Structure 1
Amino acid sequence: MTITIRPAQGADVAALDALLVASFPAPAEAALVRDLCVEGDMVLMLVAIDEATDALIGAIAFSRMAVEIGGKPINSVALAPIAVAREWRQQGVGEALVAAGLERLEKEGVVLCFALGDPAFYGRFGFAADVANGFNSPYAGEYFLAAPLQGGLIPCGVRGAATHAPAFARLGDAA
């Protein structure tokens, strides 16, 4: 198994949409990705390509968030969604996408990356509920996680809002 991870391109749109529709029980995540792109909130979209077949087998999206600590804006993103083709699951594709995404985001100066999901999976990449704890978000709870980038340093101060892009508010409507 050899895969390549690269930024999504215009030619990937149809395969990416098909992957997202096939990976989730409802088309909400595919609609989310389309809305994030159309509305200008997508920060980074990576895809995993099977080098043997040139097929798109995985994808991960990172979108803009409005986050404040001590009343100051903090460069932050949300990780969602992540999708891997069924026949490629449990083979490290998802892990490779998360690692590649976080590495790129750190180089681009992102301070915090938020995710909503399984702490056991995301914990391997430095995501933790205690980092996200204290931010005002409708997703707050044990599955609302954040990973500090930039060497793990988080600015000091009272944690304020952690607001996802507007497309997330419509996610429940698309299900």
Structure 2
Amino acid sequence: MKKEFIITIYSENHIGLLTRITIVFTRRKINIDSLTVSESAINGIFKFTIVIHETEAQVKKVVRQLEKQVDVLKAFYHTNEEMVYQEIALYKVPIEPIYESDDIEKIVRRAGARILEITKDYVVIEKTGHKEETQALFEELNKFKVLQFIRSGRVAITRDPIERLSEFLKERDALLNSMD
């Protein structure tokens, strides 16, 4: 049965790695729902966070194939329950409805969003949350004709108190040192 999985990949920052990673998904005809890349807590190591809908068996195969990429240090997969995750969304709405009533202000407060910028032409609103929450706010604000909308890719960390990459690197270093 297909369900949502979060794949995390750790690597050094090498040109072309993103292309090679996406090719792994393309060859298996797996659509990437969300992709975020950023520095990790370990200096010089970058973290790819990829969200897909797939069977666990297929996810295991993909992770094994990703780990075969030369520049990939380690890859893991998790369910949503094993992760703490968020997305950020920005909404640009025209200023006129704000002058006419306090409906937008009530919607923003109820959604736990915040206003980032107010100009004579528009207001920029920010909402952090899960995709369903940011989408629901879009639908409410779109009654006022949202001018622009953007949602980031997912950012996620494990609920596990130990960083599994750190454990992997310690084991790898110990193995390398025992070979000397």
Superposition TM-score, scaled by structure 2 size: 0.29
Larger strand fraction of residues: 2
TM-score, length-scaled by structure 1: 0.30
Larger radius of gyration: 2
